[in-house]
Structure 1
């Protein structure tokens, strides 16, 4: 139902108008999901249930957050958002970006080179137009698997972080070794081999750790195995906490 309604609205309403009024439409749509069985920890809407999208992910009907967004917000507000921090967020989820912009104690900077996300800047992650040692916290969620020169991107993340700064990184993972092939270029081939039309590889946990350590990061890998419950969190999730030594 959610995908059908989304397609109908996108045909009737312009993308620009839809983006501008997204939260108005979502508020109307979310009325049908009001209840007390669940709650989104980002928009704080109490729900009878989450929406299941085409990828079988639990989506909040009000703010559009996914389970990984809600997990990330839980981590940020508990452990990683500090007063006067400068936070750099790459291709942010709209729900989380909207939430972070309301956090007055931080300097929040969102960026997206493609123009497909609601962002303040258009930094190239392989050549970030920010001075070295200026950012306290970087959010880099589901970005590196899109980047051909990922080692260059990692070195740039390290460069712009302040000493002891943190980058929170997540990608899709596979077992074994990193799977990549520069000869696979078409969207159809990339979908078949890497799981999405604009992905250029699938990382393994050990492979991503090795590449990040080559960029001088100190890595802590966090695994979350609890089942999706009240807040609709992802059942099996891996997050890299990367510290600038």
Structure 2
């Protein structure tokens, strides 16, 4: 039902109108999902089931969080790294609205392609900030869109404070990184990289090597099983870069 309603809404309503009234729409839709079997650890909504998306991810109908978003929130909370100046690229609304309410952090949300609601529009390959500025950077599902990814990684390292932390995630494949600059059309990129606006598919080791080449110390955090079915978490890998 959720996927059908979303497709219909996108056909009927302008994008800006949907963004402006997203919270209201979600509150109405989520009424059908209320229950006591599961819980979203971001908005604390209790539900009878998560929405099973077309890509098999699990979405909270109340705040729109995906599994990876709820996992990220869990990691930040457990590690107590959400402090100081925080730079968040392509921020999902479920997190950005929550982070903005935290008084003891300076939250910088950034979106360069006008796909998310954000306060800044930083070019990740030339971030308009002084060096050693941020305590925490969140860069989820961004680098696979960037042609000059090493330049972007160097910028992430530059603006991060010494001892700062950067949480990074992309889609992954086994083997080596797959990229081909001759593939430029949307259709060809979708076939090659899984999405029309992607320019590569990283391997975990490949991404680690590139991050380390610009100076990061990298920890690989892999979650192979459902750590908490209550929160609708799924297997995934997160790279934690330290300066």
TM-score tier after normalising by the smaller chain length: over 0.9
CA distance in 1, matches of 2:150, 2:2: 38
Correspondence list, 1:123-142, <5 A: 123-142=122-141
Tell me, yes or no, if structure 1 residue 27 matches structure 2 residue 27: yes
The match for 2:156 is 157
Distance 1:231 1:167 in 2: 24
SS of residue matched to 2:230 = coil
Partner of 2:203: 204
CA-to-aligned-CA distance 1:155-200 (integer Å, 9 cap, x gap): 0000000101100000111111110000011111111011100110
Please tell me whether the aligned partners of residues 81 and 106 of structure 1 are also in contact (alpha carbons under 8 angstroms).
no
Matched residue, 1:75? 75
Shift of 1:20: 1.0
Aligned to 2:185: 186
Aligned to 1:54: 54
Q: Secondary structure at the match of 1:230?
A: helix
Q: Secondary structure of 1:70's match?
A: helix
**CA RMSD, 1 decimal:** 1.0
Offset at residue 54 of structure 1 (A): 1.4
Counterpart of 1:86? Answer: 85
Alpha carbons 1:82, 1:105 under 8 Å: kept: no
Question: Aligned partners of 2:236, 2:17: CA distance in 1, in Å?
Answer: 34
1:96 corresponds to: 95
Q: 1:229 corresponds to which residue?
A: 229
Query: In the TM superposition, what whole-angstrom CA distance separates every residue of 1:47-72 from its partner, at most 9, and x where no partner exists?
Result: 00000111111000000000000000
In the other structure, the counterpart of 2:3 is 3
TM-score normalised by L of structure 2: 0.97
Distance 1:134 1:18 in 2: 34
Structure 1 residue 82: Cα displacement: 4.5
3-state SS of paired residue (2:155): helix
When structure 1 is superposed on structure 2, of 40-49 and 9-18 the one drifting more is: 9-18
Q: Secondary structure at the match of 1:153?
A: helix
Q: Is the Cα–Cα contact under 8 Å of residues 2 and 29 in structure 2 kept in the other structure?
A: no
Structure 1: stretches of 5+ with no match in the other structure? none
Q: TM-score by structure 1 length?
A: 0.96
Does the Cα contact within 8 Å between 1:65 and 1:95 map onto a contact in 2? Answer: yes
CA contact (8 A) 1:135 1:161 kept: yes
- Kept in 1, the 8 Å contact 2:76–2:82? The answer is no
Structure 1 CA distance for aligned equivalents of residues 87 and 54 of structure 2: 29
Structure-2 separation of matches of 1:202 and 1:196: 10
Q: Which region of structure 1 is more displaced relative to structure 2, 166-175 or 225-234?
A: 225-234
